[in-house]
A = this chain, B = another copy of it.
Amino acid sequence: MMTNYPTKELLRMTTQAYGAHAADKPIEAIAIERRAPGAQDVQIEIAYCGICHSDLHTVRGEWPGTLYPCVPGHEIVGHVSAVGGDVSKFKVGDTVGVGCLVNSCQHCASCGEGLEQYCTNGFVGTYNGPTADAPGHTLGGYSQRIVVDEKFVLKVTHPEDQLAAVAPLLCAGITTYSPLRHWKAGPGKKVGIVGIGGLGHMGVKLAHAMGAHTVAFTTSESKRQDAHALGADEVVISRDDAQMQQHAGTFDFILNTVAAPHNLDAFTNLLKRDGTMCLVGVPASPHPSPSVAGLIFGRKAIAGSLIGGIAETQEMLDFCAEHGIVSEIEMVTAQQIDEAYERMLKSDVKYRFVIDNATMSA
């Protein structure tokens, strides 16, 4: 379809962002370019961006393959400021979100099923992914503006004053929502959430809202009251063997959000026959090898799950709006990102940092 939309060159624009020029460099202001919106593109003025642990791993070069300059951020909410001629789902002024994906091959089996996160040809991450745009890799939401194909833009229907707290739903929310749905958390099911951090606190809220009997596992007695307030029906201190043993063989599903290496058997032991524990965090060094006998004697499984597809992310946002669910957040300025990282490393955050992107103005 032809349009009269101006050429990309004319509209390409410089955007203020925060990122790093190298693994050992601090987060600082960087001027980046955004492409002019193409026919199917949505240009978004970013209001808030959540800080995910993946941001830190990537920008500090802790995972292989970081391309610099690196501008992290994939928990993006904002407002549409321009749309391409073929865009039908969005108009200027709409409140929208962008999560971990900004493109995929759109023709493989997974894309065909709306599971772009498992794109056989590799999805394009919101940052550090391949793109024809300068500088050759995608730059994320630690920036004032982003341009994204409408297929990868989500509608946000939460009240406007909740917008900052909606941002973490785009990664922490969907990462926990998708496996909870896939393994059918709901009424009559006993569901465990291991780790009450950025991901886990969303897992507790979501499993509770889905109607499951929700048990929060934490190593910190200090999180007990919080976990109940988030929606946990029970709270178990996972270091207390006696408490753990009381739940042996009783869980339909356990969502394990802890990336630090730990004893998985302590949790598979709590599954019912045919139960699954799903891991959503990649440990920096391997977990102790899980007991095979522990799986065999109960036909249990250890599985993994990766964020969610676009359709399911929209479903999650709608579910959260309907149930009044947002993330628990602490707002920071763009200048405080490195400080926020340091606090995140000490688990000193309840439960997600969100950047106020208005603080990026030069």
Query: Across the interface, do B304 and A295 meet the contact criterion of CB distance under 8 Å?
Result: yes
- Whether A295 and B286, one on each chain, are in contact in the complex, defined by CB atoms closer than 8 angstroms, is no
CB–CB A280/B296 < 8 A? yes
* Alpha-carbon distance A182/B300, docked complex (angstroms): 12
- Binding site secondary structure of chain A: loop
Contact with B along A262-293 (1 / 0, CB 8 A): 00000000000100100111110011111111
A299 beta carbon closer than 8 Å to chain B: yes
Copies assembled: 2
Q: Is the C-beta of A69 less than 8 angstroms from some C-beta in chain B?
A: no
Does A301 lie within 8 Å of B301, measured CB to CB?
A: yes
Interface residues as binary, A302-320 with B (CB distance below 8 Å gives 1, 0 otherwise): 1111100000000000000
* Residue among B110, B120, B283, B297 making CB contact with A292, cutoff 8 Å: B283
User: Given known contacts A249-B120, A279-B292, A289-B290, is B273 in contact with A115 (CB within 8 Å)?
Assistant: yes
Enumerate chain B residues within 8 angstroms of A292, measured Cβ to Cβ: 279, 281-283, 286-287, 304
A114 within 8 A of B: no
Is the CB–CB distance between B182 and A299 below 8 Å? yes
Range, interface on chain A: 35 or more
Is A118 an interface residue when CB atoms closer than 8 A count as contact?
yes
Contact residues in B for A290 (Cβ distance below 8 Å): 289-290, 302
Q: Select from chain B the residue with minimum beta-carbon distance to A298.
A: B118
Given contacts A282-B293, A289-B288, A292-B283, contact A302 B305 (CB under 8 A): no
Most B CB contacts (10 A, CB to CB) among A120, A279, A303 go to A303
Complex Cα spacing A101 to B290, Å: 26
Query: Which B residue sits closest to A307, measured CB to CB?
Result: B296
Q: Which of A249, A282, A287, A292 has the most CB of B within 10 A?
A: A292
* Residues from chain B with Cβ under 8 Å of A279 in the complex: 292, 295-296
Contact with B along A93-121 (1 / 0, CB 8 A): 00000000000000001100001001010
- Say how far A222's CB is from chain B's closest CB, in angstroms: 27
Provide the residues of chain B in CB contact with A280, threshold 8 Å: 296
Question: Which one of A110, A281, A289, A291 has the highest number of Cβ atoms from chain B below 10 Å of its Cβ?
Answer: A289
The answer to whether B306 and A303 touch across the interface, beta carbons within 8 angstroms, is no
A273 & B118 in contact (Cβ 8 Å cutoff): yes
Question: In the assembled complex, how far is the CB of residue A281 from the closest CB belonging to chain B, in whole angstroms?
Answer: 7
Q: 4 closest pairs, A vs B, by CB? A: A295-B304, A296-B304, A286-B289, A301-B303
